[in-house]
Structure 1
């Protein structure tokens, strides 16, 4: 039988037992001494720790680390003097370590130990989700968005393990818009046809305040054709460009000024509804008041701000479209034009507004393009 490993004076040094390959005591003592970075029988081991085994007076033959949910991945160094884990520890698991080394005379040392990791509740783990959804085709203004269900305090620790790659490659940067949401946008609008991959490799990575990443996830999406619409609130016209070519000019009406001024700046289509009830109560206007409204089944509604600005069909204002601003902030057009636009639109398409002194903001919808790129990049935790 094997002799139980003995702890050294150092909490990080454990000397392996001496045994022959069959596990019975060896007639000759091996000079190979194995130590491990995590002590035998350790409990509540942090999941962000790594495991390293070293051998003096010999070389490793094999190392294996078996956890409850599978093997902990790792590799021997080229000189076989050490083994380093590459996989990450999982919470609430027991790991059993076995390392076999031989000295220059071929005498064998077998090292065995076990340790257990800390248990983590769901409130102690943060899970990443993606927008756009995996496999989506989106417009050239759509940033890669990663949302977390538990707030991130140590954003730098997490961001080091977030990666966005694209084909073709385009320079860009992360920007934290809150403790639970980080965006990545290219320096300029995406090139049409770009393939984008988002990797949140945060499994067991510390997020601060005792929180760790719950799971590593990857997503990908595709950029479609370029569609950029330009709205001029002074001329009440919207020009729609596809792949740089003007394909339609649409008479529109925007927010009545100064009471319901439509915001100027770069907006992005975030949602589409074939029909949507629009109730002024959702934007702080009493539906029973003189400016109130509660309209069922507004057609071809495309959201561009979280505060309630949409592009949509507005047959009730056709007489003002192209001539006057009479809406509560939305961009209204004829039903025929709205149906055409809706049919052409992807989530992530860009709508650029000009003509008012009320600015679009970063977080009222997808407002990423309203910051100059150097200011946007400064919102990275690693900047």
Structure 2
């Protein structure tokens, strides 16, 4: 359902420490930088010059060869080492400088084209905007300020690693241009489990930008799935952009991220449903104002509805509920109108004309939120995927993971699912 993949454009709200003014534009990306070793330590460790004359056959003293005067510079490339091979394609370049504020770093490919990147003058690093091409030679030029006896520039070259054969795909449940409810979590999935030691770095490389700004966090649902939710419901009619930058990123056991992705989506109006088992009524608020009160029938004692906050995950105007596969004796096969799934275990909001006489008075369903045919149609015409519904007062509590249960726990509890 709207799954994104690597065909999306290449590109939470990370809290970065305060930088000087000239670093503000780079802060969001640098917060997600992978500070990896360059993977480039294969050079000869012996000195580049080994002075000393040849021994004389007659035992005479060897003539001394003067040591060449080294070329001094106020800047230097620290990593990758000069002419390093197999450098990880997303590695930052580390340099030294006697005058960081007046130092620039340029990286060019084999054609001489400049590569886009972000310069962090505090950390003295340059990080590529996206993963470099595999198996490609690049040249680094660092220009600083010359001083007496020292020049102000240096160059160095390195070659990136070959294209990896073991990759992990990243996909987004949501796609560009979708409009979702205020309770919609951002859902990212991986084609292979991400080892725990790499999850914090993965989170740093998943940047969420909301307009207007809103506080939120990622939380791991499983080794292959991570969700993002704001502290409170999304602000109505806001815009959300998120970027996952994992192309070329090491993810353990010789696996690397296959690609980057970006998603632009819209949050709709606030539409919040609250159901009380005590009153057998659903209260519907739109943008904070009560717009409808609807009689309901919830699950009977043998098949109670879950108490907790759930999210509309799927909508089907007409469908058939078939439980005969799991319960051949007591199962049923029933046509259903205006079904809106809220749990994986099979709880829905839906029209139930057969229970209209019980709605508002008695619970007779198999765990679903029964409403009348008219109210089922009314709700169905107004809800979005991602709209929240909270049920209270039933015999059973909503189990974690039985649906998109991100809102069924407090924000502080959800933050504990993060590895940052």
The normalised TM-score by structure 2 is: 0.71
Q: 1:268 aligns with which of 268, 290, 311?
A: 311
> Corresponding residue for 2:334?
295
Q: In structure 2, do the counterparts of structure 1 residues 253 and 94 end up closer, same or farther at CA, with 3 Å as the change threshold? A: same
Q: In structure 2, do the counterparts of structure 1 residues 321 and 216 end up closer, same or farther at CA, with 3 Å as the change threshold? A: same
* 1:256 counterpart = 2:294: no
> Corresponding residue for 1:379?
417
What is the alpha-carbon distance in structure 2 between the residues aligned to residue 189 and residue 162 of structure 1? 20
Tell me the secondary structure at the aligned position of residue 163 of structure 1.
strand
Alignment of 1:1-383 (within 5 A): 10=45, 31=71, 37-39=79-81, 42-52=84-94, 63-66=106-109, 71-74=114-117, 84-90=126-132, 92-97=134-139, 99=141, 113=157, 115-121=159-165, 123-127=166-170, 129-153=171-195, 154-257=198-301, 259-281=302-324, 284-286=326-328, 289=329, 291-296=330-335, 298-382=336-420
* Contact 1:76–1:83 under 8 Å retained in 2: yes
What is the alpha-carbon distance in structure 1 between the residues aligned to residue 119 and residue 83 of structure 2? 23
Unaligned runs of 5+ in 1: 1-6, 16-28
Tell me the secondary structure at the aligned position of residue 164 of structure 1.
strand
* Contact 1:231–1:353 under 8 Å retained in 2: yes
TM superposition shift of 1:337: 1.1
What is the alpha-carbon distance in structure 2 between the residues aligned to residue 147 and residue 107 of structure 1? 50
Q: In structure 2, do the counterparts of structure 1 residues 39 and 373 end up closer, same or farther at CA, with 3 Å as the change threshold? A: closer
CA RMSD, Structure 1 to Structure 2 (Å): 3.7
TM superposition shift of 1:316: 2.3
1:188-238 Cα offsets, whole Å, 9 max, x none, are: 222212222222233333333433332232222222221111112343222
Q: In structure 2, do the counterparts of structure 1 residues 101 and 207 end up closer, same or farther at CA, with 3 Å as the change threshold? A: closer
> Corresponding residue for 2:56?
none
Tell me the number of residue pairs that the alignment of Structure 1 and Structure 2 aligns. Answer: 349
What is the alpha-carbon distance in structure 2 between the residues aligned to residue 14 and residue 73 of structure 1? 33
Tell me the secondary structure at the aligned position of residue 381 of structure 2.
helix
Q: In structure 2, do the counterparts of structure 1 residues 39 and 252 end up closer, same or farther at CA, with 3 Å as the change threshold? A: same
TM superposition shift of 1:357: 2.8
Q: In structure 2, do the counterparts of structure 1 residues 113 and 197 end up closer, same or farther at CA, with 3 Å as the change threshold? A: closer
* Contact 1:226–1:244 under 8 Å retained in 2: yes
1:79-105 Cα offsets, whole Å, 9 max, x none, are: xxx984534544632224375989989
1:58-111 Cα offsets, whole Å, 9 max, x none, are: x99995431699753357899xxx984534544632224375989989999996
What is the alpha-carbon distance in structure 2 between the residues aligned to residue 187 and residue 318 of structure 1? 38
Which protein, 1 or 2, shows the higher relative CO under an 8 Å CA cutoff with sep ≥ 6?
A: 2
* Contact 1:126–1:151 under 8 Å retained in 2: no
* Contact 1:165–1:196 under 8 Å retained in 2: yes
What is the alpha-carbon distance in structure 2 between the residues aligned to residue 135 and residue 346 of structure 1? 14
What is the alpha-carbon distance in structure 2 between the residues aligned to residue 324 and residue 61 of structure 1? 73
* Contact 1:159–1:381 under 8 Å retained in 2: yes
What is the alpha-carbon distance in structure 2 between the residues aligned to residue 359 and residue 69 of structure 1? 62
* Contact 2:88–2:160 under 8 Å retained in 1: no
What is the alpha-carbon distance in structure 2 between the residues aligned to residue 60 and residue 194 of structure 1? 40
1:258-285 Cα offsets, whole Å, 9 max, x none, are: x211100111111111112211146x32
> Corresponding residue for 1:21?
none
* Contact 1:143–1:184 under 8 Å retained in 2: yes
